[in-house]
Every structure is written in C-alpha cells, then in structure tokens.
Amino acid sequence: MKVFQKVLFTLCLFVPFLLSAQDGGPVYADETFRGTRVINGHSIECLNEGELDFLISHRFGRVNGGLYEFFGLDQASIRLGFEYGIKRWLNVGIGRSSYGKHVDSFVKIAFLRQSDRAYAPISITGFSSIAVNTLKPADPTLPVPFQTRLAYTNQLLFARKFGDRLSMQLAPTLVHYNLVDFNDQSNDKFFLGGAIRFRMTKNIAILVEYYQPLIGQLAPGKFPPLAIGFDINTGGHVFQLHFTNASSMIEKGFLGETTGDWMNGDIQFGFNVARTFKLKGRRY
C-alpha cells in the first residue's frame, strides 16, 4: 500500500509537467487593449521587459468655445511621459503635465494574465501613482506646504478579451488628496471605472471610457469623466483620437477635478501618441 502511495504521489508531481510539455504551455490573450492606456486612464496592458514607451498626450480646449476660440484649437495642454518594462509583469513610469504643472510617477504590476487556463479567465493589474502640483502659490507671502500638493491613486484593473474584437475592463479606484477644496469634503474619493474596446478593422478600434464616482464624492461643479475615441495602429506606434470632458491626463486630475459637463457641450478634442523602443533583449 505504501508503495502504491509513493507511485501515486510521484505521478501527481510529474503529470502537470508532462501535460504542460504536451500542450506547449498556456496561450495568453493578446492585445486586450492596444496600449498601456485606454484613453485617459490606464489599461491592464504592461510593456514587455526592456521596452520603453514615450507618450505624448494632448488636449485642446472646449469645442463649445466657438469660432473665436477656433472650437478649442487655440488652447492646449500636454503631458509627456516615459514608461519602462522592468519585467513583463512590472512597469514604472514618470510624466510631466502642463495642466497644473504636475509631475507624476507610477508603478504597475500584472498579477494575472488571461489565458486558456481555467484559473485565468481574466487579466488583473494593479496600479499605484503619486502626483505633485508644482504651481507657484497665488500669494507669494502664503507658501503652500509640499505635503498638501500631493495626491495618490490606487487601482485594480480587471479585464477580459471576448474573441478577437471585444475587450472590457473594470477599474475600482481610490484617489487620496492631501488637500481638498472644502473642510467638509473627504480626502478619499472612490470611483468605479469601466472601459470597452471594439476592434472594427485590423488597425482601427473604437473606445469608450467612463468613471462613476460614489454618491457625494465629487465637489460642486465637478463631473465624472467620459471619453470616446479611436485607436489607430500605425505599426511603429499607437495613435488615439478622442473626445472627453476632462482637461487633465493624470488620475487625480481627470477623476476628481473635471469641470466639463458633456450635457453643456464642454467637450475637448485630444490625441495620444505612444512610441515603443526596445532597449533590452532581442529586437523584433
């Protein structure tokens, strides 16, 4: 009986390796989203090890500014960012925005990657960032303490790719502001983000992204961010065209500080460009 138990135990150890060798390992979902961003917010996607992304995010003014503002094209804000894949499951990034003169940095960890295995029906990625507002104080005699300039964002991103065309993502999000507008406001704000990507052709996809705050989370005059746009794959880089009511291009800005209202036509045209460079490992 003991011999039988030892044989059974040995088989239990080696069968998984044999099965893995036979089927060649798991088949992972590819390009749930085309890049590391949906539109405003992050996607579950991470860069491969040794890849460097240079991102240019651009927002014009509101289209309801009319002809005098050339439908928003007379105004613009920009964010320049770099992201690097330390490992396939670990990315870091840094950026600087003209809006609020923010400097932000983040870390992104892929906990689970969707595959054909029963234990991985979805992809799960964690995201954590810190942003600092570097604007000069309105009154030089009243300096703003550094710690009040900070804001933190933490997200868990859950996504699934359905077939070759449809991808969906949920993003429960917590943003902490060290300084808020009013004393009766909470420093912590909770949002539930949702995103859909539908690939229409080989190189073009439509995107919709929305973040719903919990009741009472937004200050008066602030609105939930909604963005609608297109992904265009040009081979060397990803190009996005979109419309949104948010001016900021970092989480603490577009989640809790958006003053544009879609219902009033406070819509801004913008684009994102991501160019990937292979700095380490085999080129492709």
Nearest to 39 by CA among 263, 158, 205: 205
Compute the distance between CA of residue 284 and CA of residue 278 in angstroms, rounded to an integer: 8
CB burial of residue 216 (10 Å; 0-12, 13-18, 19+): exposed
Long-range contacts of 135-143 (CB under 8 A, 24+ apart): 135/100, 135/101
The C-alpha angle with vertex 110 and arms to 104 and 112, in degrees rounded to 5, equals 155
* Res. 3: pLDDT tops 90: no
Q: Where are the alpha helices (DSSP H) in the chain?
A: 2-23, 251-256
Per the domain annotation, does 263 fall within a domain? yes
> Which position has the higher pLDDT, 28 or 44?
44
The C-alpha angle with vertex 199 and arms to 195 and 202, in degrees rounded to 5, equals 150
Per-residue pLDDT band at 84 (split at 50, 70, 90): very high
pLDDT (tens digit, 9 = 90+) per residue, 218-262? Answer: 888 899 999 999 998 877 678 899 999 999 999 999 998 999 899
> Which position has the higher pLDDT, 119 or 21?
119
Q: How high is the pLDDT of residue 136?
A: 85
Per the domain annotation, does 22 fall within a domain? no
Domain span at residue 200?
Answer: 29-278
Q: How high is the pLDDT of residue 192?
A: 96
Total domain count, the chain: 1
> Do the Cβ atoms of 76 and 57 come closer than 8 Å?
no
Q: How high is the pLDDT of residue 40?
A: 94
Q: How high is the pLDDT of residue 61?
A: 85
Helices (H) and strands (E) in the chain, counts: 2, 12
Per the domain annotation, does 44 fall within a domain? yes
Compute the distance between CA of residue 37 and CA of residue 43 in angstroms, rounded to an integer: 5
| DSSP per-residue codes, 115-165 | BSSTT-SSEEEEEEEEEEE-PPPSSTTSPPPGGGGEEEEEEEEEEEEETTT
pLDDT (tens digit, 9 = 90+) per residue, 95-116? Answer: 999 988 999 999 999 999 999 8
Give the rounded percent of residues in the chain with a pLDDT score beyond 70: 90
CATH of the domain at 156: 2.40.160.40
pLDDT (tens digit, 9 = 90+) per residue, 141-183? Answer: 788 888 989 999 999 999 999 999 999 999 999 999 998 877 7
State the sign of the Cα–Cα–Cα–Cα dihedral 234, 251, 48, 281. positive
Per the domain annotation, does 122 fall within a domain? yes
Per the domain annotation, does 24 fall within a domain? no
Per the domain annotation, does 123 fall within a domain? yes
Compute the distance between CA of residue 126 and CA of residue 114 in angstroms, rounded to an integer: 15
pLDDT (tens digit, 9 = 90+) per residue, 195-217? Answer: 999 999 988 999 999 999 998 88
What does the pLDDT average to over 122-132?
96
Per-residue pLDDT band at 132 (split at 50, 70, 90): very high
Residues facing 162 on adjacent strands: 166
Compute the distance between CA of residue 44 and CA of residue 54 in angstroms, rounded to an integer: 18
Q: Rounded mean pLDDT of the chain?
A: 86
Q: How high is the pLDDT of residue 82?
A: 96
Per the domain annotation, does 134 fall within a domain? yes
Compute the distance between CA of residue 178 and CA of residue 194 in angstroms, rounded to an integer: 26
Per the domain annotation, does 54 fall within a domain? yes
CB burial of residue 275 (10 Å; 0-12, 13-18, 19+): middle
Compute the distance between CA of residue 276 and CA of residue 35 in angstroms, rounded to an integer: 10
